[in-house]
Amino acid sequence: MKEQQKKYELTDEFVVHWSGKKLYRIRALVSFGVVVAGQLGGFVESEKNLDQSLSGNAWVSGNAWVYGDARVSGNAWVSGNAWVYGDAWVYGDARVYGDARVYGDAWVSGDARVYGDAWVSGNAWVYGDARVYGDAWVSGDARVYGDAWVSGNARVYGDARVYGDAWVSGDARVYGDAWVSGNARLDLMR
């Protein structure tokens, strides 16, 4: 049986997480998407963190870290200084960048974007064309999807849902079993 060609390798360059884990910088072995062979990427703890399949363009770039049992697959990208860890999964055409954090059992998928200083954690899902950015947090079992945007210092948590074309921004809080949908705009300024 033919061994699958790898699209990247772990280099000797590494950073040490405060817990003592070593994360290794990656290097592309073949060209795919906009990545060229020889290009350096971000840091992963092991090959289980970033899909090796050439059928997708998944990549970790810049100084981004992916570690623990977290996975990046499909055509997803994690870049900048973003961290994806725990059991989190970033897939589809999703992007996580800036100083964003995705962790716990959180999922980011579809064409979703998580960026700036935003955090997605717990069992939260961000998917579709949703955007979570600024200093926003989505956590617990919350869902943000469709064309929804969560920004500023907004918090969405518990079993809350933000979807459709809804925007939650400023210092707004959506929690419990609350749903914000349609063209709703929820903005709380302090």
User: pLDDT class for 2, splitting at 50, 70, 90?
Assistant: low
Q: Do 167 and 181 touch, CB atoms closer than 8 A?
A: no
Instruction: Compute the distance between CA of residue 102 and CA of residue 80 in angstroms, rounded to an integer.
Output: 13
User: What is the tens place of the pLDDT at every residue in 9-45?
Assistant: 999 999 999 999 999 999 999 999 999 999 999 999 9
Give the tens place of pLDDT for each residue, 98-149. 999 999 999 999 999 999 999 999 999 999 999 999 999 999 999 999 999 9
Per-residue pLDDT tens digits for 70-96: 999 999 999 999 999 999 999 999 999
Identify residue 138 by its one-letter amino acid code. V
**Cα 151 to Cα 134: distance, rounded to the nearest angstrom:** 5
Q: Which numeric CATH code is attached to 99-190?
A: 2.160.10
Query: Which pLDDT score, from 0 to 100, does residue 190 have?
Result: 58
In the chain, % helix, strand, coil (3-state, to 5) comes to 0, 40, 60
- Percentage of residues in the chain having pLDDT higher than 90: 93
User: What are the tens digits of pLDDT across the range 137-185?
Assistant: 999 999 999 999 999 999 999 999 999 999 999 999 999 999 999 998 8
**CA separation for the pair 106, 148 (Å, rounded):** 17
All structural domains of the chain with their residue ranges: 1-82, 99-190
pLDDT given for residue 1 in this prediction: 43
* Average pLDDT across the chain, whole number: 96
How far apart are the C-alpha atoms of 35 and 29, rounded to whole Å? 10
